[in-house]
Chain A
Amino acid sequence: MKRMKGGAFLLESCQPEDVFTPEDLNEEQKLIAKTTDEFIREQVFPLLEQIEQQNFSHTVRLLQEAGELGLLAADVPEAYGGIGLDKVSSTLITEKMAQGRSFALSHGAHVGIGTLPIVFFGTEQQKKRYLPALANGKKLAAYALTEPGSGSDALGAKTTAVLQEDGKHYLLNGEKQWITNSAFADLFIVYAKVDGEKFSAFIVEKDFPGVSTGPEEHKMGIKGSSTRTLILQEAQVPAENLLGEVGKGHLIAFNILNMGRFKLAAGTVGTAKRVLELAIKYALERKQFKQPIASFPLIQEKIATMAIELYATESLVYRTAGVLDQGLSGVEQKQGQEVAKAIGEYAIECSIAKVVGSEMLDYVVDEAVQIHGGYGFMSEYEVETHYRDSRINRIFEGTNEINRLLIPAALIRKANKGELPFFARAQGLQSELMNLMPTLPDPQAAPLTLEQEQINHAKLLFLFVAGQAIERYGTKLTEQQEMIRDISDIALSIYTMESTLLRAAKQQNQSKPNATSHLQFAEALIYNRMQKLEQIARHTLTALFTGDTLRVQLAILRKLTRIEPKNELQLKRNIVKQLLKAKKYIVQSRS
């Protein structure tokens, strides 16, 4: 596999052999997925209602059982009592866990934002002291960044830390808000400003003097997870529990968010699979007008579209997992900061995954409720919980708005540092575009040839729109948030379309029995996104130009987003057959 730099997918072409797909799992990875899946279905499912009632003793016991199975140890190096698995395996664990709703959130907060700061930035002593117990579930972790007055603006935290005169303790004062796992966590990763200025991180144990938690919050969803404030009143934290360097807390916070965002996306895949299964089964059982509602084309179309969106996110999540593993190959697991840096290279991909995954899941749960009709509005039906639980995903781990603003910013930063040839490619683009010849459909061509061409054009469109916006506004572009959002949306459409295409093409190249089915999913997804791209780009271009110049630019846009008409209606009717037959999300043509 060829290793690509973060964000390079926008500028370079990528081959099917260079991407990881869910069809490439090895025997161990399949077994890991199976163990996780069986653990959730057999141990967690029967207790989900009680967990929903905040019976946290179940959550704690199940987390310990998960620890015994090794399900908390994937991202912890062997040297500190973990298993140090590859990122594909850890993605599979997150995906399968996600079916466990609030329990999955407790698990995710513990293994992700709770444990990873120590894995990445802990001293040798801190890692030896804390990681073995975190990896086996004897101790549970939480992460305390947000405050009542600082959410997206995390560095605006008010919590302070002052080193005592004897140099042995810091005294922490402040209040952290919305802390997942706070009811039962043994330790908290807490951000505070040393001397009120230098943003820093600390490992704070629950039993340190001056540490307490507030009452449980009443939430819209994920009700079975614990969410409280963390109150620090003259809290005594030993000096050796400073995590990383004084004033470098932002490095930890931002690096942890990369993995947090990626894992969130992996979770949306697992939840969406569960929700789609619920929707399909319900549609097959529910009869109206003397037939199952699954026989009605409008219901079938919903199911097909949900599955296509899920396929797209699944493709890009596993591609990204593969990209992270490539980036981490050759990096010593024990060197936490090196690991964090290697992951940070793909911050753009992690942000894209977060936005795409959370919006896919919100779409899927919404349609699943719709398929359930009035019953979907009733709490006895599992889909009702999923509908409420899903909503937070677009908010936490950086709102989707913040993530959309980050993507172009990260790209421009890489371009300015010379890591990506963005400006070189953008130059001379105009003349290239003027001479662009639209490709015509060739019935003899291999499947997906046209789609590949469309994605190449989408990449030119990205350079075109982003290039024009930067040329016009320079560093002031940050004030044009709507344009940045548009540029981001083009980038995430490209990553989604390409991941989908490469996955389908890989099955095709390897003559896999299910290749035809993969083709249908990819064709449907790309057809949808290409149409949206035109709208998005037009929105920014019409704000940048007027009159004849605008007309010229829009003519280029039309050339770049030209697609051949496709009978989408029939395509979706074909796709839905396998789903109804399997009674769940599946990509196969065995029938």
Chain B
Amino acid sequence: MEILICMKQTFDTEEKIFIQNGEIDDDGVERIINPYCEYAVEEGIRIKEAHGGTVRLITIGGAEAEAAIRTAMAMGVDEGYRLDLTDFPADSDEQTTSECIVQLIKQKQIPYDVILCGYMSIDNGTAQVGPRIAELLGIPHISTITSLTVDGRQVQVERDVEGDLEKVESSLPILLTAQQGLNEPRYPRLPDIMKAKRKPLHRMKWDELRVDVQMIQARTKKVAILPVEEKETGQILSGTIKEQSQELIRLLHEEAKVL
């Protein structure tokens, strides 16, 4: 079984976001594997453990992304590709990312029966890259899966549909995106952490890909990045329902001044 994972590195969920000159300040931040991508990594390794094969992984990012790749390797990924889009001479968006990944797969002839992605990244949160890759490769895709069974060339999937459960069947090759609940990612074992640094990691720059910058540059434009307003502590009213209602109306009128 040839398993391919597309993984993104994101800010640690505990990091506070600071905006400087209209851009997010990433100086000295702690980074993690995007949590949804971590489910994808875990699932890929489980498929390999059950059916044999090789788990490969692609990440787009600078040198700092290698920490995430080594973490995935310590979990059990066999081989990694890091594609560096730094200095890409135009704006980039999800279309750029997916085109580059697909070009990398084709140029390096990376084999795949199953491609696994996180269903979205917790930073930009567009949930586009997985489906776009499937479209460009001309293979089926199923999103937000919470359970996966591979049986020969058949796959049975359970997916989360806005809280409901949908059972879907399809066949390999296929692209799947992982939703929370798919599995419980493992902690890397210490011997595997030590082995990870000896696993093959290929580094490529965007200009080594046969891509047309005009064709793949961003089709969307970032207008502004704004901080999330800090939520102020709420107030719990007490008393009978009638008293609470009266107090609420008074507050809306006198303090919030919306009435």
* Chain A residue at minimal CB-CB distance from B191: A70
Whether A31 touches B28, Cβ cut-off 8 Å, given contacts A70-B190, A74-B190, A83-B190, is: no
**Contact, CB under 8 Å: B28 / A30:** no
Shortest Cβ gap from B16 to chain A (Å) = 8
Question: When chains A and B are docked, how far (Å) is the Cα of A70 from the Cα of B193?
Answer: 10
Shortest Cβ gap from B257 to chain A (Å) = 24
* Chain B residue at minimal CB-CB distance from A514: B28
**Contact, CB under 8 Å: A27 / B66:** yes
* Contact with A83, one of B29, B70, B188, B191 (Cβ below 8 angstroms): B191
* Contact with A68, one of B27, B70, B74, B189 (Cβ below 8 angstroms): B189
**Contact, CB under 8 Å: B190 / A35:** yes
Q: Does A39 contact B (CB under 8 A)?
A: yes
Q: Does B248 contact A (CB under 8 A)?
A: no
**Contact, CB under 8 Å: A590 / B28:** yes
**Contact, CB under 8 Å: B28 / A512:** yes
**Contact, CB under 8 Å: B187 / A35:** yes
Question: When chains A and B are docked, how far (Å) is the Cα of A201 from the Cα of B223?
Answer: 74
Q: Does A342 contact B (CB under 8 A)?
A: no
- Which of chain A's residues have a CB closer than 8 A to the CB of B67? 27, 30
* Chain B residue at minimal CB-CB distance from A39: B187
* Contact with A85, one of B16, B27, B190 (Cβ below 8 angstroms): B190
Whether A35 touches B27, Cβ cut-off 8 Å, given contacts A30-B67, A590-B18, is: no
- Which of chain B's residues have a CB closer than 8 A to the CB of A30? 67
**Contact, CB under 8 Å: B18 / A31:** no
Question: When chains A and B are docked, how far (Å) is the Cα of A62 from the Cα of B169?
Answer: 39
- Which of chain A's residues have a CB closer than 8 A to the CB of B29? 590
* Chain B residue at minimal CB-CB distance from A590: B28
Q: Does B210 contact A (CB under 8 A)?
A: no
Question: When chains A and B are docked, how far (Å) is the Cα of A28 from the Cα of B196?
Answer: 9
Interface size on A, residues (CB 8 A): 23
Shortest Cβ gap from B167 to chain A (Å) = 30
Q: Does B121 contact A (CB under 8 A)?
A: no
Whether A35 touches B70, Cβ cut-off 8 Å, given contacts A28-B194, A28-B197, A590-B28, is: no
Q: Mark A177-204, 1 if CB is under 8 A from B, else 0.
A: 0000000000000000000000000000
Within 8 A of B (CB), among A570-585: 581
- Which of chain A's residues have a CB closer than 8 A to the CB of B194? 28, 83, 85
Q: Does A504 contact B (CB under 8 A)?
A: no
**Contact, CB under 8 Å: A31 / B193:** yes
**Contact, CB under 8 Å: A35 / B193:** yes
Within 8 A of B (CB), among A55-78: 68-71, 73-74
**Contact, CB under 8 Å: A32 / B193:** yes
**Contact, CB under 8 Å: A31 / B71:** yes
- Which of chain A's residues have a CB closer than 8 A to the CB of B190? 32, 35, 69-71, 73-74, 83, 85
Question: When chains A and B are docked, how far (Å) is the Cα of A206 from the Cα of B188?
Answer: 33
Within 8 A of A (CB), among B174-218: 187-191, 193-194, 196-197
**Contact, CB under 8 Å: B70 / A27:** yes
- Which of chain B's residues have a CB closer than 8 A to the CB of A419? none
Whether A35 touches B28, Cβ cut-off 8 Å, given contacts A28-B194, A28-B197, A83-B194, is: no
Question: When chains A and B are docked, how far (Å) is the Cα of A85 from the Cα of B66?
Answer: 22
Shortest Cβ gap from A579 to chain B (Å) = 14
Q: Does A245 contact B (CB under 8 A)?
A: no
Shortest Cβ gap from B67 to chain A (Å) = 5
Q: Does A38 contact B (CB under 8 A)?
A: yes
- Which of chain A's residues have a CB closer than 8 A to the CB of B188? 31, 35
* Chain B residue at minimal CB-CB distance from A589: B28
Question: When chains A and B are docked, how far (Å) is the Cα of A482 from the Cα of B19?
Answer: 57
Question: When chains A and B are docked, how far (Å) is the Cα of A30 from the Cα of B25?
Answer: 23
Q: Does A438 contact B (CB under 8 A)?
A: no
- Which of chain A's residues have a CB closer than 8 A to the CB of B193? 28, 31-32, 35, 70
Q: Does A418 contact B (CB under 8 A)?
A: no
- Which of chain A's residues have a CB closer than 8 A to the CB of B71? 31
Q: Does A148 contact B (CB under 8 A)?
A: no
* Chain B residue at minimal CB-CB distance from A69: B189
- Which of chain B's residues have a CB closer than 8 A to the CB of A31? 70-71, 74, 188, 193, 196
* Chain B residue at minimal CB-CB distance from A74: B190
- Which of chain A's residues have a CB closer than 8 A to the CB of B197? 27-28
Question: When chains A and B are docked, how far (Å) is the Cα of A83 from the Cα of B192?
Answer: 10
Shortest Cβ gap from B243 to chain A (Å) = 22
Q: Does A149 contact B (CB under 8 A)?
A: no
Shortest Cβ gap from A40 to chain B (Å) = 11
Shortest Cβ gap from B22 to chain A (Å) = 18
List the interface of chain B (C-beta within 8 A of A).
16, 18, 25, 27-29, 66-67, 70-71, 74, 187-191, 193-194, 196-197
List the interface of chain A (C-beta within 8 A of B).
27-28, 30-32, 34-35, 38-39, 68-71, 73-74, 83, 85, 512-514, 581, 588, 590
What are 16 A-to-B residue pairs whose CB atoms are below 8 Å?
A28-B70, A30-B67, A31-B71, A32-B193, A35-B187, A35-B193, A39-B187, A68-B189, A70-B190, A74-B190, A83-B191, A513-B27, A513-B28, A590-B18, A590-B25, A590-B27
Besides A28-B194, A73-B190, A588-B28, 13 more A-B contacts (Cβ < 8 Å) are A27-B67, A28-B196, A32-B193, A38-B187, A69-B189, A70-B189, A70-B191, A74-B190, A83-B190, A513-B27, A590-B18, A590-B25, A590-B28
